[in-house]
């Protein structure tokens, strides 16, 4: 088994396979000097633990003015799958101290104006009675705003219409630290991890296995490795490798890179006044990836605040990638879908141009919608990780998708993950999907073990309130989410 990339996806799949088939040989190839240094790194993503408690793009307004919670329920359920597997992993010493990578942080949604109030109230009415969204609160009272998020209330007029929905049981996840714990488990159970080793090419052998050409980035030496199964968990690098594999399932698929930037604050006086992840609505015409949010982050035991994201643009598919990443991904089959995006996604184009024109002062001015009293000198710019949005063919054109997608060969010998948010938060569900797609003849035999790891496997948590409550309480206890700092 060859896993390409030492990020959250490969580490999760490796841990699942190690429990299911402890006798299988697994090797991980990572182009950088350690695990989780690209998209999984703590400063390269928001670490929200996407469960749709606060992310308004998962519960969009419909054409008739209602609110559609279908995606919110789906994303929430997938995050519960992650929580269950993480709990199993802690209980079985696969993972160590969970406080190193997951903390309880309230999740909230904030809107301003009367139209925002109406939308958020409808969303609250749809979610408040749902089994997967227990304990939801909602307020338009300024005194409650001052109590819950004092930094956002400071300097704000009490007469300005607003609404705030809130959950106490949200989380902040350091996916970098989580990944490193998984990789430690894999190495101590016999997995070989090769750092500074970049997979340059993939070629199918005559017997259906795969030959990987691997270059040592220190010495420049190349070697070949044969594998019966390959998983491409290389983040933005996955598209190129899947294209090189030549599998027909990747034909026509392209990628659109979008960078990210944050404003970060580490001033303890300000950090102590905001203990929450607060999401709002994207501006009119802006894409879902632009949803602004003000987040409490706990990284390596240190608290800070992040605000953003502010988009950047570069043709790189990885933060530490090449300016040739985008041009070299263009193929005859995906040229039209990719070109079509420039014509059909004018909101995205306009958003990127506007974002690229912003200086530090303009970014802080945007922040003042959340923190009216924000001062330029209190916040610094941090560059986030690259995200590559999937472009899929659609007739003669293409469709830009804002999510994650598994691509696998028909024979199950190779699979890869493309796309972005909710990404790492739903890694366990995505990797179980990979197992089911790529190992159909073994999946039935694996199912009892998988059900031990993930008790809700194959079941509808939304329809089984008792099961959800039982597993949520278990994971809260096991992951020490009942212990507040």
By the 8 A CB rule, do 264 and 380 touch?
yes
Q: In what order do the strands lie in the sheet with 192-194?
A: 192-194, 27-29, 2-4, 230-232, 414-419, 404-408
Higher pLDDT, 287 or 362: 362
- Cα angle value 231/233/236 (rounded, 5°): 135
Structure tokens at 270: 């300000």
Q: What is the pLDDT of residues 228-253, one digit of tens each?
A: 999 999 988 999 999 999 999 999 99
Angle between helices 440-453 and 427-438 (to 10 degrees): 150
Q: Is the pLDDT of residue 351 over 80?
A: no
Strands 254-265 and 387-394: antiparallel
Residue 355 has pLDDT above 60, yes or no: yes
- Please, is 135 exposed, middle or buried when counting C-beta atoms within 10 Å of its C-beta (0-12, 13-18, 19+)? exposed
Query: Residues near 109 by Cβ (< 8 Å), separated by ≥ 6?
Result: 54, 55, 56, 120, 123, 164, 165, 166, 278, 279, 280
Taking 90 as the threshold, does the pLDDT of residue 336 lie above it?
no
Q: Residue 402's pLDDT band (boundaries 50, 70, 90)?
A: confident
pLDDT digits (tens, 9 = 90+) for 25-74: 999 999 999 999 998 888 888 888 889 999 999 999 999 999 999 999 99
Determine contact, residues 454/433, Cβ cutoff 8 Å.
no
d(CA 389, CA 393): 13
Percent of the chain with pLDDT strictly greater than 70: 97
**The pLDDT value given to residue 158:** 95
Q: What is the pLDDT of residue 387?
A: 81
The rounded percent of the chain whose pLDDT value lies above 90 is 74
Which of the residue ranges 20-24, 84-88, 247-251, 316-320 would you say has the lowest mean pLDDT? Answer: 316-320
pLDDT band with cut points at 50, 70 and 90 for residue 93: very high
pLDDT of 471 over the 90 cut: yes
pLDDT confidence band for 353 (50 / 70 / 90): confident
Q: For residue 288, is pLDDT > 70?
A: no
Show the tokens assigned to 389.
Answer: 């949005």
What is the pLDDT of the chain when averaged over all its residues? 92
CA 279 remoteness from chain centre: 15
CA–CA gap between residue 57 and residue 211 (Å, rounded): 41
* β-strand pairing of 162-167 with 137-139: antiparallel
Predicted pLDDT at 155: 95
Rounded distance between C-alpha atoms, residue 367 and residue 387, angstroms: 22
Token pair in block for residue 47: 């670490």
Average pLDDT over residues 172-182: 96
Q: Which of the four pLDDT bands, split at 50, 70 and 90, describes residue 289?
A: low
d(CA 335, CA 398): 9
Q: How far apart are CA 277 and CA 69, in angstroms?
A: 20
Q: What angle do CA 205, 208, 212 make, to 5 degrees?
A: 45
Read off the pLDDT of residues 99-154 as tens digits, 9 standing for 90 and up: 999 999 999 999 999 999 999 999 999 999 899 999 999 999 999 999 999 999 99
| pTM for the structure as a whole | 0.93
What is the rounded distance in angstroms from the CA atom of residue 485 to the CA atom of residue 483? Answer: 7
Answer yes or no: is pLDDT of 285 > 90.
no
Contact 427, 8 (CB under 8 A): yes
For residue 415, is pLDDT > 80? yes
Q: How many residues does the chain have?
A: 485
User: Which string of DSSP letters, residue by residue, matches 100-166?
Assistant: GTEEE--EEEEEEHHHHHHHHHHHHHHHTTSTTSTT-EEE--HHHHHHH-HHHHTT--TTS-EEEEE
| Rounded-to-integer distance, Cα 172 and Cα 295, Å | 9
The three-point CA angle 461-462-466 to 5° equals 65
Distance between CA 293 and CA 307 in Å, rounded? 6
DSSP classification of residue 223 = E
């Amino acid at each position: 088994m060859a896993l390409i990339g030492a990020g959250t996806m490969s580490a999760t799949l490796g841990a699942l396979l190690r429990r299911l088939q402890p006798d299988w040989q697994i090797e991980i190839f990572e182009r950088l000097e350690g695990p989780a240094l690209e998209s999984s790194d703590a400063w390269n993503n928001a670490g929200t633990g996407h469960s749709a408690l606060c992310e308004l793009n998962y519960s969009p307004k419909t054409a008739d003015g209602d609110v559609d919670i279908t995606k919110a329920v789906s994303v929430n359920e997938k995050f519960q799958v992650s929580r269950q597997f993480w709990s199993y992993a802690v209980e079985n010493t696969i993972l160590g101290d969970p406080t190193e990578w997951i903390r309880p942080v309230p999740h909230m949604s904030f809107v301003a104006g009367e139209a925002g109030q109406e939308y958020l109230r409808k969303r609250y009415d749809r979610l408040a009675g749902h089994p997967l969204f227990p304990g939801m609160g909602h307020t338009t009272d300024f005194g409650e705003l001052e109590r819950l998020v004092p930094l956002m209330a400071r300097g704000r007029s009490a007469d300005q219409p607003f609404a705030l929905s809130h959950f106490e049981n949200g989380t902040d996840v350091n996916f970098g630290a989580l990944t490193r714990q998984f990789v430690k488990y894999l190495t101590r159970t016999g997995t070989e991890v090769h750092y500074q080793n970049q997979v340059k090419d993939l070629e199918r052998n005559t017997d259906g296995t795969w030959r990987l050409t691997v270059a040592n980035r220190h010495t420049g030496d190349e070697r070949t490795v044969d594998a019966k199964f390959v998983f491409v968990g290389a983040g933005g690098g996955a598209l190129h490798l899947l294209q090189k594999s030549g599998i027909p399932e990747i034909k026509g698929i392209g990628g659109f890179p979008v960078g990210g930037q944050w404003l970060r604050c580490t001033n303890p006086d300000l950090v102590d006044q905001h203990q929450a992840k607060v999401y709002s609505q994207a501006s009119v015409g802006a894409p879902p990836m632009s949803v602004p949010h003000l987040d409490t982050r706990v990284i390596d035991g240190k608290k800070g605040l992040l605000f953003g994201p502010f988009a950047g643009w570069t043709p790189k598919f990885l933060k530490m990638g090449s300016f040739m990443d985008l041009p070299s991904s263009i193929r005859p089959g995906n040229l039209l879908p990719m070109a079509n995006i420039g014509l059909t996604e004018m909101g995205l184009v306009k958003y990127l141009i506007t974002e690229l024109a912003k200086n530090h002062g303009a970014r802080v001015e945007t922040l003042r919608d959340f923190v009216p009293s924000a001062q330029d000198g209190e916040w610094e710019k941090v560059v986030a990780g690259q995200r590559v949005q999937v472009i899929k063919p659609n007739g003669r054109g293409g469709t830009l998708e804002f999510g994650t997608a598994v691509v696998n060969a028909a024979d199950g010998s190779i699979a890869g993950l493309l796309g972005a948010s909710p990404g790492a938060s739903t890694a366990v569900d995505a990797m179980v999907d990979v197992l089911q797609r790529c190992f159909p003849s073994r999946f039935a035999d694996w199912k009892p073990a998988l059900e031990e790891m993930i008790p809700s496997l194959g079941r509808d948590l939304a329809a089984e309130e008792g099961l959800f409550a039982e597993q949520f309480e278990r994971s809260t206890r096991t992951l020490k989410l009942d212990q507040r700092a």
